Structure 1
Amino acid sequence: MKRALLAADESIARDEMPPPWPGRGVRIDGSITHVRETPATRSDAEPALYVHGLGGSAQNWTDLAGLLADRLDGHAIDLPGFGLSDPARRYTIPAFADRVIRYLEHADRGPVHLFGNSLGGAVSVRVAGLRPDLVRTLTLVSPAMPFLDPRRSLQGRVLPLLAVPRAELFASRWLTQLPPEEMAQQVMEACVADTARICDQRRVEAVEEIRIRYTAAHYPRAYLGTLRGLVGSFVRAYLPGAGSLWRIASLITAPTLVIGGGQDRLVDVRVPAQVARLIPDSRLLLLAGVGHVPQMEVPRTVARAALALLDETSPLPTTVPR
């Protein structure tokens, strides 16, 4: 593990607030995966894939993908059951990782620069550890890797619901009892240390996304099922067997950047350093005063760290004067 570097701020030219990138549905194995594509601004941009966290969507990557568009041709997917993707039968880390792998194979985009936030970070660890041929570099932002103290996460308050029969009915009432504006504000306060950093445009988009979520009958099951799958992966990580996320992380060979926020309220703040120590070729960036979604709260800083990793591992070709 070494300290992450930051590319020069002036190396990022784009500073305007981009709209959500266009999206489309991709049918894979009979199911629709919704994908947002960030248009690359140069012909030699390399492929990237962005994977969101629990309760999020591809929109969580709009700003970062825009800032990196000079170097990366980005696709951001909605995991099954979230955003505009179809629901799934299983909401587990292995099932989500299989969907990411199938998308990369279907789109013939590997190896990619793979980005994962929270749940998407745990999913990306599994993909990078088990399918190194598909991953050029790995960037983990507040990865939801295993920790056993539920007091270190606001999600701990929801865990008792997992033991309630037909918990989806209770979750449906809980997840729709507030007006979308209030729900969006609560989610933002849980995920972001300083909500003033989130612009009005992103707030409007968050409210609209929650309106859509309220109309999706499958969402409570997807949310609770995913949380249940995460808890299961946390327990298995400390038991013997090849399925442990910690053991899989130790297999990762891709150059890796790990980013954590010092005021993360959803993932134990000690986790990013633990992840970086375990992955052989890793760089660690800890951001004081930042919450669970640094790519949304301080996207320019995250972009500078990602560019430094790209400069190290995939430098732009130099033009030889004639």
Structure 2
Amino acid sequence: MSSTESPSVPAASVLPRVAPVRVGEGERIRSVGLPGVTLSVRSRPPAREGLPAALFVHGLGGSSQNWSSLMAELDGVVDGEAVDLPGFGDSPPPDDGNYSVTGHARAVIRYLDACGRGPVHLFGNSLGGAVATRVAAVRPDLVRTLTLISPALPELRIQRTAVPTGLLGVPGIAALFTRLTREWTAEQRVRGVLGLCYGDPAQVSPEAFRHAVDELERRLQLPYFWDAMARSARGIVDAYTLGGQHGLWRQAERVLAPTLLIYGGRDQLVGCRMARKATRAFRDNRLLTLPEAGHVAMMEYPQVVAAAFRDLLAESREQEGAPDTGSAADAGS
């Protein structure tokens, strides 16, 4: 199917702005030991048995908590789980210290193979979008549909606002940055991240902001925090320069799963202009652009992202000739 931009999406000025749900509400977390890696997995008890499985993969510096709002919106639509990539959230570093896109993808594949939930509806944001693309390309048997929100796929002209993040991957820069910002408070750091990632940081509730500060304070105490950040950033840079059949754009062309592409018009890390290239690369895709969204549309506009996914789900079921058991009515919308 060729790419189409959804005509049913209202102007961004009238999109519902939903404050993030209280993290932990209705959620549970468990630790899963796998060969070479231990992953923390966040989930919600499924609304009923028989729901299709979904897996959510966060971006650089994020965690499974980034998906809490969207997982709540999709309650009754999918049986969702979100992973903390190695070295992030509550997951410890990988045994081999491999934070490359391939290393993260390998961890996701190991989890899906071990839990036997595949094929899943796979979601990825930013770094997680690159990871999900690689998983879908090399293990199509594990992926039913693919939803990519501002995926970190190679850009020839990097936005200036994204350069500092990329520089974290340069050896020594993370240590230098740590020294230069030693006096910064967690509140200052969180405000900077929100300003970079949100189209409108003002929509973040005071409760969500306080939780983000508390979580950052906890993670800054981890001895591997900056190492995981720096090595993962380096992994993205390396993936950008990798050519041939292992290049991310080449792998995007190999993805067979129906794909939903979501880009934000105010994204300061992944240029919205990349949407055009993405629609040419992914063979069976649908495009949703949100002019007022930033880098984390699933946190800014979870209702809209959920509606777009439900449309993708209905289309994929029609193509498969299966009954649509996850309709909008079932989801309470």
Contact kept, 8 Å, 1:32 with 1:86, in 2: the verdict is yes
Structure 2 residue aligned with 1:205, among 191, 204, 211?
211
* CA distance in structure 1 between the partners assigned to 2:203 and 2:231 by the alignment: 31
* CA distance in structure 1 between the partners assigned to 2:121 and 2:166 by the alignment: 33
Question: Please, which moves more after superposition, 62-71 or 273-282?
Answer: 273-282
What's the CA shift for 1:249?
A: 0.3
Structure 2 residue aligned with 1:154, among 158, 161, 166?
161
* CA distance in structure 2 between the partners assigned to 1:263 and 1:143 by the alignment: 14
Where 2:219 maps in the other structure, the secondary structure is helix
> What is the count of residue pairs matched by the alignment?
308
Contact kept, 8 Å, 2:169 with 2:237, in 1: the verdict is no
The equivalences for 1:149-298 within 5 A come to 149-150=157-158, 152-160=159-167, 162-164=169-171, 166-173=172-179, 177-236=183-242, 239=243, 241-298=244-301
What's the CA shift for 1:41?
A: 1.2
Structure 2: 5+ residue runs without aligned partners?
A: 11-17, 318-322, 327-333
Aligned-pair RMSD on alpha carbons? 2.2
Confirm whether residue 96 of structure 1 aligns to residue 85 of structure 2.
no
Contact kept, 8 Å, 1:120 with 1:143, in 2: the verdict is yes
1:144–1:136: structure 2 CA closer, same or farther, 3 Å change rule? Answer: same
Contact kept, 8 Å, 2:56 with 2:124, in 1: the verdict is yes
* CA distance in structure 2 between the partners assigned to 1:212 and 1:39 by the alignment: 27
Confirm whether residue 17 of structure 1 aligns to residue 21 of structure 2.
yes
* CA distance in structure 2 between the partners assigned to 1:311 and 1:161 by the alignment: 41
**C-alpha distance after superposition, 1:22-59 (max 9, x if no partner):** 21111111532011012221223110000000000000
Contact kept, 8 Å, 1:4 with 1:257, in 2: the verdict is no
Identity %: 40
Confirm whether residue 56 of structure 1 aligns to residue 59 of structure 2.
no
TM-score with structure 2 length normalisation? 0.87
Code of the residue aligned with 2:324 in structure 1: it is L
Structure 2 residue aligned with 1:83, among 89, 93, 96?
89
**C-alpha distance after superposition, 1:138-164 (max 9, x if no partner):** 0000001001323x1523035455444
1:265–1:72: structure 2 CA closer, same or farther, 3 Å change rule? Answer: same
Code of the residue aligned with 1:144 in structure 2: it is A
Structure 1: 5+ residue runs without aligned partners?
A: 9-13
1:41–1:93: structure 2 CA closer, same or farther, 3 Å change rule? Answer: same
Contact kept, 8 Å, 2:22 with 2:208, in 1: the verdict is no
* CA distance in structure 2 between the partners assigned to 1:281 and 1:176 by the alignment: 47
**C-alpha distance after superposition, 1:157-202 (max 9, x if no partner):** 35455444x4443243356542111111111110001112222332
What's the CA shift for 1:253?
A: 0.7
Code of the residue aligned with 2:281 in structure 1: it is L
Code of the residue aligned with 2:122 in structure 1: it is L
Structure 1 residue aligned with 2:5, among 3, 19, 41?
3
Where 2:21 maps in the other structure, the secondary structure is coil
TM-score with structure 1 length normalisation? 0.89
1:214–1:131: structure 2 CA closer, same or farther, 3 Å change rule? Answer: same
1:153–1:124: structure 2 CA closer, same or farther, 3 Å change rule? Answer: farther
1:160–1:204: structure 2 CA closer, same or farther, 3 Å change rule? Answer: closer
What's the CA shift for 1:6?
A: 5.8
